[in-house]
Amino acid sequence: MKKLYVLILFSLIFIQVSWAQQKPQYNQYMLNGYLVNPALAGIENYTDLRVSYRNQWSGLAGAPSSVYISVHGPLHKEDRSSSIVSLPARGKSNIINKLRYKEENDFKFLKPHMGVGGMIISDNMGPNKRLTAGVTYAYHLPVMNRRMKLSTGITAGLTRYSLNISELDFGPNIDPVVSQYENARLLPEISLGSTLYGSHFFVGASVAQLFQNALDLSGRNEGVQQRFSNHYFLTGGYEIRLGRELALMPSVLVKYVQPSPVSVDLNLKASYLRRFWGGVSYRHQNAIAALAGFNLNTILNVGYAYEMATSNLNNYTHGSHEIMLGFVMGNTYRIKSPMFYRW
């Protein structure tokens, strides 16, 4: 019995020490900020559906792998305000306007609007399995003389967490009580976030896993020490226009998960004609990543990221791979009068 408890506790601690967080980690959050902040639900002028697969620390046995599908869109949105990584818009004439970038007029005559969304995330690390599903509501309110918007969002959902005992080696003498640890726990989960954004910038803060649920799979909750930790995120970015065809966007992500140290990602993304993009990301004393992607048309886009560890972990892994497919629905600006905008 004692040996069983020790091995299970070691497995749970391994999650926090080697993974440095309990929720999955992604490189392409620059293209899908909804992953880390529910306030971004409905920020675009279209419904944004994304599917992604990440193979972290390739070549390392038991390394994390994750899959997610997310979708979000606006409700009753009548202006052209959107995020600084928005895809090209399709006008009333159904012509793809590749050269157009956001004009100041896009952030005039702003009105409040709502956003809704949902996501499903499947995350595996060795014997640890986690499946999370949630729905999101966000409200976008004009501020600063109606030239910017402040959005606040909440995601509520459930997480199914399990530990597959069959993948752990307990030796020849397995305690009969081991069977009770194969049952999964279904736990509630809440995330909150807020974002201030304008035509060429955004800054936001969010917290995930507000319910610090116990990591106890026995169902007895006796002397539980390991719990799900709060995840805190600070994000910010600014778009620098280099003419009508090229744009640069430096951004930063600051993350804190107790008891791990603060993690800082420094990112730089370049886009050409709002159709092709590439970038680099540096995580302090942890990893460096390269990203690339393109919009096939106004409906489909694809992105890929490769991450290489800069720590000693690089000696044991071939890096991390992440691929994402995006599907855009209703890619038309909802405006009352096109006379306010230039094409």
**What pLDDT, in 10s, does the model give residues 89-130?**
554 443 344 445 566 667 878 999 999 999 999 988 777 888
What is the token pair recorded at 154?
A: 């909440």
pLDDT at 13: 40
What percent of the chain is predicted at pLDDT more than 90?
A: 37
Q: Which domains does the chain have, with CATH numbers?
A: 2-334 (2.40.160.40)
Mean pLDDT to the nearest integer, 172-190: 65
8-state DSSP, 316: T
Q: Are 277 and 293 in contact (CB under 8 A)?
A: yes
User: What contacts 1, CB < 8 A, 6 or more positions away?
Assistant: 175, 177
What pLDDT band is residue 4 in, cutting at 50, 70 and 90?
A: very low
pLDDT at 48 over 90: yes
pLDDT at 243: 80
Task: State the sign of the Cα–Cα–Cα–Cα dihedral 326, 332, 335, 339.
Answer: positive
pLDDT tens by residue, 202-222: 999 999 988 877 666 555 555
Identify the CA nearest to 74 among candidates 49, 46, 50: 46
pLDDT, greater one: 216 or 149:
149
Q: Based on the number of CB atoms within 10 Å of its own CB, is 286 exposed (0-12), middle (13-18) or buried (19 or more)? A: middle
Q: How far is CA 281 from CA 162, 275, 313, in A?
A: 32, 20, 18
pLDDT at 122: 93
SS3 179: helix
Half-sphere exposure (Cβ direction) of 230: Cα atoms closer than 13 Å:
8
What pLDDT band is residue 275 in, cutting at 50, 70 and 90?
A: confident
Mean pLDDT to the nearest integer, 321-331: 90
Identify the CA nearest to 79 among candidates 327, 337, 329: 337
What is the token pair recorded at 55?
A: 């193979």
Q: Are 54 and 322 in contact (CB under 8 A)?
A: yes
SS3 176: helix
Chain-wide mean pLDDT for the chain?
Answer: 78
Mean pLDDT to the nearest integer, 304-312: 85
Number of H helices, E strands in the chain: 1, 15
Among 191-195, 225-229, 266-270, the minimum mean pLDDT is found in 225-229
